[in-house]
Structure 1
C-alpha cells in the first residue's frame, strides 16, 4: 500500500509540474511573440526598372535596419493593371500587416481593395491628383508615402531644355498612366509659358517606345522622358534614337542619366524608398495611423549630367553647366 501511495503521489507531482511547465511555456511564447512578432508586408511594383528597384530596396533596408521582424511578399505586375488588381486582392486575402505600393497604379489598386490595411506608397508623382491622399500634409484614410516629383523639377527641366536652344520638345508617355498624364499637362503648360512648343507620342506598352521616339525625328529638337514607367523601362531604345539623330534626350531622374540620358534634375529613388520605409516603421512599430503621417516630396534635388551622352547627342556643355552639375558617365553591365 505504501508503495502504491508513493507512486500515486509521485504521479500527481509530475502531473502538476507538467501543467506548470505547459503554462510557463505558453506564457513565454506569447511574450516572445509580442516582443518580436513577425510582420508580413506585401510589396507591389508596377514594372521592373532600375529606379523602382532602388526604391524597393531602400524601403526594405529601412525596415531591416530598424530591426523589425519582417517577411516581405514581393509581386511584380509586369506593367499590367489587371495584375495590379489581382496582387492587391491577394494581399488583402492574405491579411498582410501593411502594403508597400511602388508606383501610382500599384497604390491606386491597393486602395481600391482596402480601406483598412495601411498602405505606404512611393514613386507617385501626384498623390493628391491620383486620389491617394486628401493633402500631402494631412493624408487622411489609410494611405501615406513619398512622391517622386519635386515641385521645382519640371520648371528647372523646361528651362534647361530652353537653354539647350530647343524650340520644340518631344514627349513620349503612356496615356493610361494617371501619373504620366499629370506630368504631361504640367510640362505642356510650362513649356508654353517659356515659348516652347510640344509634340506628343503616346504608347501603351514598352514595345512601342522605339517607334514613338522615331516618330519625333524631324519634329522635335529635344526629347523629354518623364517618370513614365512604361517608357523608362524601354529608355535605351529612345537613347539609341537620340544618338543616331543627334537629339538630346533629357530625363527626369538620376538613374536614367546613368543609363545614358543627357541630364536630369532629380534625386536617388533609393532615398524616397527609404523614407517610405521610415513611415512604415511609424505605423508598424510606433502604432501611428497613416492618416496622421504627412506624405512627402523628395529631398536633395540636384542637376546630374552625363558627359558621354552629351558627346553622343551632339550637345556642347558650357563651363557654367559643368560647375552646376554632378557629372557622370554611362554605366555599363560588365
Structure 2
C-alpha cells in the first residue's frame, strides 16, 4: 500500500476512532505505574476506569494500544526500580499514580510525556512550574491541598467532642505529603487538639506506631494519603478497631472497605479524566501546555458498622452531614 493511500484510510477511520494513528497498524505504548499491589480492588478499579476512558477516546488494547502496567505496592524502592525499567522501554506516554512513582520518573526522564494522577501539591513539590502551565514533559491531576487537614480534624472532633489527642499516620520518606502534615498540624489549635506523628513506612511500623499511640488512651487517627497507608488499609482498620480508635481517611473507598469515616474525593473520577489527556498527548499536544486539573467534588462517607465496632455513637448532627452512610 502506498503511503498516500494509507494516510487516506487513516483519515476515514478517524470518524469512528477520534485518536490520531500515525500509520495503518501502528500500536502506541503506554506505561502505567500503579501505587497499589497487583490484585488490590481499588488499584484494579482505578486501572479499569483509565482503560475505559481510553476506549471512549478511541484507544483500544490489542487494536491500536498496548499497556505496560507495573504495581508498586506502596514501596518507594520498588517505585524506583519499576520506573527505571519502564523508562528503558521508551513508551509513548506514562501514566503514574501517586507521588513516589512520579518522583522516581522525573529523575530518569524529562522527555517521555508523563500524566500523573492523585499527586499532592505538585507545584510545591517542584514537579510542575504552575497549575495553568505545568511545563516540560508533565501534566496531570492533583489531589489534596493543605487545608484539607483542618477538615479531617473537624470531622474527628465532631464525631468525638471529648477528643484531645490525634495521631497522624505519615510516611516520612513520602516528602510530597509534608504539606498535608503541616496543614493538619497548623489546624490543630483551632480544635484544641495535640498532634502526634506516627511514622509509617511499612506494615511493621504501622502496627508498632498505632499500638504505641493507642497506649496513651483517648486518641483518634488521621490517615494521610501516603501509598503505604492505602496498601495496608485493612491492617489499619483492624488496629483501629482493636484499640477502639476513631479514624478519618482521605478517600471514599477507605470507608466503603471498612474504615470509620472518609473525607475526600473519589479517585476514580480522576482516572476517568486521565484517558482524554493521554489521548490528546498521543495526538501530538505537549503535556506541559495542558493545565493540571483537580478533583471537582469532595464528600463525607461514614461507616456505621465500623462505628459500632469501636462502640462509637455518631452524633446525629454529624451523621446528617454525610454524603454517604454505610449501614
* TM-score higher than 0.5: yes
Counterpart for residue 229 of structure 2: 231
Contact kept? 1:55, 1:269, Cα under 8 Å:
yes
Rate the CA distance shift 1:192–1:55 in 2: closer, same or farther, 3 A.
farther
| Count, aligned residues | 306
Counterpart for residue 271 of structure 2: 273
Alpha-carbon displacement from aligned partner over 1:187-245 (angstroms, at most 9, x marks no partner): 11111343211111212212331222111114352111111111222222222232222
Q: Which runs of 5+ in 2 are unaligned?
A: 11-20
Aligned-pair CA distance for 1:130: 2.4
Return the TM-score normalized by structure 2.
0.86
Counterpart for residue 27 of structure 2: 38
Structure 2 residue aligned with 1:100, among 95, 104, 109?
A: 95
Counterpart for residue 148 of structure 1: 143
Counterpart for residue 309 of structure 2: 312
Q: Map 1:152-301; keep pairs closer than 5 Å.
A: 153-163=148-158, 164-165=160-161, 166-219=163-216, 221-285=219-283, 287-301=284-298
* Distance in 1 (alpha carbons) for counterparts of 2:278 and 2:297: 21
Rate the CA distance shift 1:323–1:194 in 2: closer, same or farther, 3 A.
closer
Q: Map 1:3-14; keep pairs closer than 5 Å.
A: none
* Distance in 2 (alpha carbons) for counterparts of 1:83 and 1:239: 25
Aligned-pair CA distance for 1:314: 2.2
Counterpart for residue 70 of structure 2: 75
Q: Which has the larger radius of gyration?
A: 1
Return the TM-score normalized by structure 1.
0.84
Counterpart for residue 132 of structure 1: 127
Alpha-carbon displacement from aligned partner over 1:152-196 (angstroms, at most 9, x marks no partner): 532222211122221110112211112333321221111134321
1:47 is aligned to 2:36: yes
Contact kept? 1:52, 1:123, Cα under 8 Å:
no
Rate the CA distance shift 1:275–1:204 in 2: closer, same or farther, 3 A.
same
Question: What SS class does the counterpart of residue 297 from structure 1 fall into?
Answer: coil
Choose 101-110 or 207-216, whichever is displaced more.
Answer: 207-216
Aligned-pair CA distance for 1:26: 6.2
Choose 307-316 or 320-329, whichever is displaced more.
Answer: 320-329
* Distance in 2 (alpha carbons) for counterparts of 1:162 and 1:306: 17
* Distance in 2 (alpha carbons) for counterparts of 1:77 and 1:243: 27
Choose 139-148 or 215-224, whichever is displaced more.
Answer: 215-224
Rate the CA distance shift 1:51–1:299 in 2: closer, same or farther, 3 A.
farther
* Distance in 1 (alpha carbons) for counterparts of 2:312 and 2:196: 21
Question: What SS class does the counterpart of residue 324 from structure 1 fall into?
Answer: coil
Rate the CA distance shift 1:50–1:252 in 2: closer, same or farther, 3 A.
farther
Alpha-carbon displacement from aligned partner over 1:278-311 (angstroms, at most 9, x marks no partner): 21122113x2211111112211111111111111
Aligned-pair CA distance for 1:29: 5.2
* Distance in 1 (alpha carbons) for counterparts of 2:73 and 2:313: 38
Aligned-pair CA distance for 1:25: 5.8
Q: Which runs of 5+ in 1 are unaligned?
A: 1-23
CA RMSD of aligned residues (A): 2.2
Question: What SS class does the counterpart of residue 252 from structure 1 fall into?
Answer: strand
Greater fraction of residues in helix: 1
